Amino acid sequence: MAARPAPQPPFSTDLLADLHADNVSPELSEQLWPQVREDPESLRFLRSLDDVTAELQALGQDSRILHEMPPEVTARLDRLLDDLSRGEHPGESAPAEQLATVHPLPPRRISAESTDPPSTRPMPALSAEAAAAQDEPAAEPIRLDTPRSRRWQWLTAVAAAVAVLAGTLIAIDAVRGPGQAPKALPTEQTAVPLDDDLPTATLVSAIGRNDVTGPLAAPGAMAGCIAAAGYERPVLGSMNVTFRGAPAVVIILTGPQPPEITALVVGTGCGPGDAQLLDQRDIG
C-alpha cells in the first residue's frame, strides 16, 4: 500500500495548529517541518500562536488573576455554561450586588522588530531565505469561511463566559473584604477532580490547555489515542484529571456538528489499539 503524500503549501490553519500543539504523528511532523520552515505565511501563523501561548502563560503567573474561585462564582458559571449548552440565553441584567468592577490588565508591549523564531517544539534553525522572508509586511488576517465560523460560535460563547469569570476574579475586592489577603493557587500542575456527571464548566476549562503529563505527553501520542477511540477531529485542548478515583485525561475535540464540542475522558495509557475510553460527552 502506497504511503499517503504529505500535505503541500498552503497549509490549513487546522494543520498548522495541530503541528504547533504536537498533535500529529512523528512521521508527518518530520515531513511537514522542512516545508513549514520555508513558508513565510506558515511561520507568521505559528508566531501568532506562540504569542497567544506566551500571553496565557504570563496571565497564569499574574498575582491579580491567580485566586481561588469563590464557590458562588463556580455555581454561577456552571449554570451559565449549562444554559448555553442547552441553547438558552441567560438574562442580560444581574442584581447590583452581583456586579463587580473589572480592573483591566496593562497591554503587553510587543516589539515590531522582534526576529526571534517561533518557540514551537521541535523548532529547527531557519534558513537565511526564510528569516529574510519574515521581515515582509504582516499579511492580512486569515479569512474564515462561513461553515468554519459557525463551528467556532460555541467556543466563542465559552470564551466569553470564561472572560466574565476572569473579570470577576480580577476584581477580587467585589467578593472579598478589602483587608483579606488573596490566596494564590499552587503553581505546579495538578489533576483536576472530575465528577461522574462530567460538569460542563470543568470540561470546557480544558480548552486551550495542552499540559498533559505521562505517556500522552509524548510526540504523536495524543493523535494515536484519539484515533484508537474512533475520532478524527482537531484537538482543542487537554488536561490531567482524577476520574472515579484514578488518574485520567480529558481531551476536547471539535464536535460532530458545529458549534458542538466533544469531551473524551480516557485513561493515562490511551494509545493505538487501546483507547481506554472511560466516558464521553457532546456539548453544545
pLDDT tens string 246-259 = 999 999 999 888 77
* φ, ψ (nearest 5 deg) of residue 264: -110, 140
pLDDT in tens, 55-95: 777 776 776 666 677 788 888 888 888 877 776 655 544 55
Hey, CA dihedral for 146, 148, 151, 156, is it positive or negative? negative
In a domain, 3, yes or no: no
In a domain, 209, yes or no: yes
pLDDT in tens, 31-66: 888 888 888 888 889 888 888 888 777 776 776 666
In a domain, 262, yes or no: yes
Give the span between the Cα atoms of 153 and 160, in whole angstroms: 11
* Of 151, 56, 52, 163, residue with least CA distance to 100: 163
In a domain, 1, yes or no: no
CB 261 within 8 A of CB 233: no
In a domain, 206, yes or no: yes
What burial letters (b/e) apply to 106-141, b meaning 16+ CB within 10 Å? eeeeeeeeeeebbebeeeeebeeebeebeeeeeeee
> Which pLDDT does position 56 carry in this prediction?
77
203/6: higher pLDDT: 203
Number of domains in the chain: 1
Q: Which residues contact 4 (CB under 8 A, 6 or more apart)?
A: none
In a domain, 230, yes or no: yes
pLDDT in tens, 140-151: 544 444 444 444
115/17: higher pLDDT: 17
Determine if the peptide bond prior to 259 is cis (ω within 30°).
yes
Question: How sure is the predictor about 260, in pLDDT bands with cuts at 50, 70 and 90?
Answer: confident
What burial letters (b/e) apply to 213-246, b meaning 16+ CB within 10 Å? eeebbeebbbbbbbebbebeebbbbbbbbebeee
Question: How sure is the predictor about 98, in pLDDT bands with cuts at 50, 70 and 90?
Answer: low
Give the span between the Cα atoms of 146 and 140, in whole angstroms: 18
pLDDT in tens, 106-134: 655 545 455 555 544 444 444 545 545 55
Give the span between the Cα atoms of 76 and 195, in whole angstroms: 18
Give the span between the Cα atoms of 252 and 256, in whole angstroms: 12
Question: How sure is the predictor about 277, in pLDDT bands with cuts at 50, 70 and 90?
Answer: very high
Domain that holds residue 197: 13-88+114-137+145-283
In a domain, 231, yes or no: yes
In a domain, 2, yes or no: no
Question: How sure is the predictor about 170, in pLDDT bands with cuts at 50, 70 and 90?
Answer: very low
> Which pLDDT does position 78 carry in this prediction?
85
Alpha-carbon dihedral 146, 149, 151, 152, rounded to 10 degrees: -170
> Which pLDDT does position 99 carry in this prediction?
53
pTM: 0.41
Rounded average pLDDT over 257-267? 90
